[in-house]
Structure 1
Amino acid sequence: MESRSVAWLEYSGCNFCLLGSSDSSASASQVARTTGDKMPTGKQLADLGYKTFSASMMLLTVYGGYLCSVGIYHYFQQRRAQRQAAEEQKTSGIL
């Protein structure tokens, strides 16, 4: 299993997390030096945007699956209750 290092870049009071840095010992100052003047490059911002978008889509997919399974569970629970009520009505009508 490959371990990924996480380096933080501080820019104007905001923190940008740069995942997958090739140097596991990269510190915030080292990353800032490579970006020049503590300014993130367009590629870094695009990568950050892509990773954020991908993560949010993954969360929405997982949450959507959860909501779907809960809906199906409630549907079958309601269906079982209706069948039991129908069975009870049949048996009470026979007696």
Structure 2
Amino acid sequence: MLSNKRLADLGYKTFSGTMILLTLYGGYLCSLRVYRHFQRRLQLQEAAENQTEAVIKD
């Protein structure tokens, strides 16, 4: 049978591990959102440049 100290240590390590995983996953989601934001911004900028070129040609 596990002693109280050993059980507490196991619980702490489990909790800490899950918090680390959640932090890493949150960082991944945040990075993905920032990446998508900049990709979308670049697409909009390119579309605006192409649109002005088409207007100038007409």
Q: Provide TM-score, normalisation by structure 1.
A: 0.59
The alpha-carbon deviation at position 47 of structure 1 amounts to 0.4
Quick check: which one's strand share is greater? 1
Match of 1:91 among 49, 53, 57: 53
Quick check: which one's helix share is greater? 2
Instruction: Give the number of aligned pairs.
Output: 57
After superposing on structure 2, the runs of 4+ consecutive aligned residues of structure 1 that deviate more than 3 Å are: none
Q: Which has the larger radius of gyration?
A: 1
Unaligned 5+ runs, structure 2: none
**What percent identity do the matched residue pairs reach?**
56
Unaligned 5+ runs, structure 1: 1-38
Alignment root-mean-square deviation, CA: 0.5
The equivalences for 1:21-36 within 5 A come to none
Name the counterpart of 2:10: 48
Q: Provide TM-score, normalisation by structure 2.
A: 0.95
